[in-house]
Amino acid sequence: MLGRAVTASLSISVTSPNPLSKSFFGKTTNTHLSSSSENPFFTLSTLSWNISRRSSSRSSRMEKSFTTRASAQPLTNADELIDSVETFIFDCDGVIWKGDKLIDGVPETLDLLRSKGKRLVFVTNNSTKSRKQYGKKFETLGLSVSEEEIFASSFAAAAYLKSINFPKDKKVYVIGEDGILKELELAGIQYLGGPADGDKKIELKPGFLMEHDKDIGAVVVGFDRYFNYYKIQYGTLCIRENPGCLFIATNRDAVTHLTDAQEWAGGGGSMVGALGGSTQREPLVVGKPSTFMMDYLANEFGIQKSQICMVGDRLDTDILFGQNGGCKTLLVLSGVTSLSMLQSPNNSIQPDFYTNKISDFLSLKATTV
């Protein structure tokens, strides 16, 4: 019998006579953001700050609860796990591919799961591409995956802004790459920044004052290979000086797989950390392990979260994402997490199961008694 994971959930409520019940691109959700202000947008920075403070205290409580979880069990009966859920959510980097190289056995594994009638969803914290661009990457690697099955943190940022009815007269300053820009454009949200600011420099002369757009209502920060001091200062000015300006992070990953040869710094976390340091603000994170994407997915596909298995290579994003959402969790050791890291006394996040790679689904059968 498969063990049931202890679940952790984060709820947000702010008392208000005028609750906002929004939808994600036409899909009704049960997530409510409320405010006592006549203009709810201008209280969102305070809301996000309160969210982060409550999340911090809850995170410490969650960490304590995770220390009581049983140690992760090696996956020995793949069929039993497959039969116990309807949907598999896969992280991409370190699970499906590393850099631009497909991990061995992935196509056959996905074919097996589809043949058993399982719904497959692919979720990535990498914000450098849009859903459409990721669709092309899957195709290039020989995988048949539709755009509707892909959820990147670039999309999550745009979906979140859409869900809170981000004002049409406000703009987003982007510290990130093309994926965020394309998703904002598809959502009809004005933006500036991104790679276009990658070559900009600040010449510090006596009395120099840097101007910024007063209509910036949100700063979205993701992985950015063109990160520079100009962007740090511009984003900082917007967050600190524009009333109600939101500070949104696509993720806080410490490293990422830009190539299959090694881990690379700045999965988004280092850029977010720079803005956090200069603004003394905590961001609202829309990627994993935030429950935002899980709630969106469950609503989009009509999935019961108890019928989902989250498969990933990171403990603090993928596995915590699944646990926060009340899902079964499977850690694969083909990415950033090693067996020694999983079993370290300092690690408090334990998945339900672990295995070497997802292609183990092809070979691990029930033990004959």
Q: Is 86 a catalytic residue?
A: yes
Q: Are 85 and 119 in contact (CB under 8 A)?
A: no
Catalytic residue among 86, 147, 263, 300: 86
CA pair distance 226, 207, nearest whole angstrom? 27
Q: Which residues have a Cβ under 8 Å from the Cβ of 258 and sit 6 or more positions away?
A: 99, 264
The Cα–Cα gap between 270 and 314 comes to 17
Helices 178-186 + 153-163 axis angle, to 10? 30
> What's 302's DSSP letter?
T
By CB atoms closer than 10 A (0-12, 13-18, 19+), residue 140 is exposed
Picking from 137, 77, 151, the residue whose alpha carbon sits closest to that of residue 321 is 151
Structure tokens at 111: 């074919």
Smallest CA-to-CA distance from 327 within 84, 153, 1 is with 84
Task: Give 18: exposed, middle or buried? Use CB within 10 Å, 0-12, 13-18, 19+.
Answer: exposed
Residues 6+ apart with CB under 8 A from 195: 177, 178, 226
Residues 6+ apart with CB under 8 A from 212: 234, 237, 238, 241, 242
Active site residues: 86
